[in-house]
Structure 1
Amino acid sequence: MGGIVLERFDLDGKAIVVTGGGRGLGRGMAHALAEAGAHLMLAARTQSQLDSTAEEIRARGGTVATFQADVTDSKQVDALVAACVREYGRIDVMFANAGAGGDPDVDFWDYPDDAFEKVLATNLKSTFYSCRAAAKAMVGQGAGGTLVTTASGTALRGNRNFVYPTAKGGVISLTKSMATMLAGHGIRANCIVPGYVSQTDPKDDQERAQRAQRGTFMPVQRLGEWWELGPLAVFLASEASSYITGETYIIDGGGLAGGLGPIKFRPRHEW
């Protein structure tokens, strides 16, 4: 990269952990980060997904290692960060991207305790564990670092799948709090808020047509693609965003601005 501006986007040699890095949005961000020169440690529960994404990145000349982990377990998260430090000598950036939704078809008054706890653990607790472990290592290194979290547009509107926006709303608040607490250590924290973004390429013409139809609800007349979070991920991981912390970046094709909630879950008429 050349020039005073483009140099700020260079991630050459930066050690970056991406949780939920085997598929979907994590896969898209991983590809972009590797293209910008980062050395990646991808983490997920499913090793086959990690292997597939890592193979794609290596085929394009990227540097990547993998670590199978359940990030709802803080000990496994600590081991993940330790593995990154072992592999690359340090950790510079943590992308706390792991997450999963709840069941939108269960009535609020019947929602089970264990299901509520599972969604909170997968989305909010995992983000806390990942950022805590990374921040501890970064403070020990004494050179600052960057934390990037992933929330959801549902956190800014709410919907029937109420546990998921509850957890993701917590991620947004956690990110702002981390930004204020850790700024003195040179650690920045920002949050990416995706709208409705396809997790994979369409498998056939029928699925392509279905996505095109759904996209007509959006101001930009299409859904997002799995790779479109990548450029934003590079920006937030790089020195191009060195004076930005505690911020929330919505990437949803204008959905929230246009008054649209995520289109998968519309209110039931009896509510």
Structure 2
Amino acid sequence: MDLAGKTVVVTGAGRGFGRAFALHAGRTGAHVFVSARTLAGARKTADEVAADSGAHVEAFACDLADPATVRDFAAQVAAHTPSVDVLINNGARYLAGPDLWDADDEAITDTVASGATGTLLTVKHFLPLLRASEGADVVNLVSSAAEPRNHRSQAHPAFYAAKAAQAGFADVLSHRLRPEGIRVISLYPPDFTDGDPLHATWDQASRTADDPLTARSVLDCVLFALGQPRDCFIRSFHFEQL
């Protein structure tokens, strides 16, 4: 999808899908705002976007587990633009370990706060900018861990809890924002590979059902949903798993 002229905000843009989306947005002419937990991480991606496409890109630090930094991030973006067309909620802490005792209390709290509370607060504080757009989209990178009775991941129970909360929020948000014309799109991918999904040698046609899901394939799902007419509300993408 061509994002020319769109204003795009991406959280968790320091690597993986967030970085991939920022690069694509820059290549298609968007004004891009990226955040990561550290300013250095956000600036690294911003520099890549600028070098790759020459796009207008701004970098900010935003720790999604810290409400003050979420508010500050939204305020700083508002100082640069009157509206936001696409908000990508990608940032969230992953926590490994199937047993509750595999993580201390602080890591558990941080995981739930970044994945669940962080997404809620990000949407809350960017909502005025989204409402100012002629047609805004909120995209949530959830996880198959949020699907009922999906126990494939070896993630910590705190990660499961965070993603389940994020999914519940996305569901009610979609219902309540639809009358305003704001679409809420959520993806529930299993673990997928990052690699370099925008590298020139990547060949979509060569991929088969035996290949692991890639960040590029997830990106293409998002672009498909964003490219639909404004009367088309695709609420979620769920992925078949082996």
Q: Radius of gyration: which is bigger?
A: 1
Structure 2 distance, partners of 1:111, 1:69, is 23
**Which residue does the alignment assign to 1:94?**
87
Structure 1 distance, partners of 2:48, 2:165, is 33
**Which residue does the alignment assign to 1:226?**
215
- Of 181, 189, 193 in structure 2, the residue corresponding to residue 194 of structure 1 is 189
Question: Are the structure 2 counterparts of residues 80 and 244 from structure 1 closer, same or farther at C-alpha, using a change threshold of 3 Å?
Answer: farther
Task: Give the gaps of 5 or more residues in structure 1.
Answer: 1-8, 203-218, 259-271
How far off is 1:47 after superposition? Answer: 2.4
How far off is 1:121 after superposition? Answer: 0.6
Identity %: 24
TM-score (norm 1): 0.74
Q: Which amino acid aligns with 1:66?
A: A
- Asked whether the equivalents of residues 32 and 231 of structure 1 are also in contact (C-alpha less than 8 Å), the reply is no
- Asked whether the equivalents of residues 82 and 129 of structure 2 are also in contact (C-alpha less than 8 Å), the reply is no
- Asked whether the equivalents of residues 142 and 185 of structure 1 are also in contact (C-alpha less than 8 Å), the reply is no
Aligned residues: 227
Structure 2 distance, partners of 1:72, 1:155, is 19
Question: Are the structure 2 counterparts of residues 75 and 108 from structure 1 closer, same or farther at C-alpha, using a change threshold of 3 Å?
Answer: closer
Give RMSD over aligned pairs.
Answer: 2.5
Structure 2 distance, partners of 1:194, 1:241, is 24
- Of 174, 183, 186 in structure 1, the residue corresponding to residue 178 of structure 2 is 183
- Residue 248 in structure 1 maps to residue 232 in structure 2: no
**Which residue does the alignment assign to 1:215?**
none
**Which residue does the alignment assign to 1:151?**
142
Structure 2 distance, partners of 1:68, 1:30, is 15
- Asked whether the equivalents of residues 39 and 88 of structure 1 are also in contact (C-alpha less than 8 Å), the reply is no
- Asked whether the equivalents of residues 13 and 39 of structure 1 are also in contact (C-alpha less than 8 Å), the reply is yes
Structure 2 distance, partners of 1:197, 1:247, is 21
Structure 2 distance, partners of 1:104, 1:110, is 5
Question: Are the structure 2 counterparts of residues 241 and 152 from structure 1 closer, same or farther at C-alpha, using a change threshold of 3 Å?
Answer: farther
Structure 2 distance, partners of 1:172, 1:77, is 20
How far off is 1:110 after superposition? Answer: 7.7
SS in 2 for 1:228: helix
Alpha-carbon displacement from aligned partner over 1:83-117 (angstroms, at most 9, x marks no partner): 22322332222111101222315x34786543332
Alpha-carbon displacement from aligned partner over 1:6-50 (angstroms, at most 9, x marks no partner): xxx332211111000111111111122222322110001122322
- Asked whether the equivalents of residues 12 and 37 of structure 1 are also in contact (C-alpha less than 8 Å), the reply is yes
**Which residue does the alignment assign to 2:204?**
none
TM-score (norm 2): 0.82
Alpha-carbon displacement from aligned partner over 1:39-97 (angstroms, at most 9, x marks no partner): 11000112232222222211223221111121222232222222223223322221111
Alpha-carbon displacement from aligned partner over 1:169-191 (angstroms, at most 9, x marks no partner): 22122111001111222211111
Alpha-carbon displacement from aligned partner over 1:168-225 (angstroms, at most 9, x marks no partner): 12212211100111122221111122222123359xxxxxxxxxxxxxxxx8222233
Question: Following superposition of structure 1 onto structure 2, how do residues 257-268 of structure 1 map, counting pairs within 5 Å?
Answer: 258=242
Question: Following superposition of structure 1 onto structure 2, how do residues 1-271 of structure 1 map, counting pairs within 5 Å?
Answer: 9-59=1-51, 60-105=53-98, 107-108=99-100, 112-139=104-131, 141=132, 143-156=134-147, 157-158=150-151, 159-160=153-154, 161-201=156-196, 220-238=209-227, 240=228, 242-245=230-233, 247-251=235-239, 254-255=240-241, 258=242
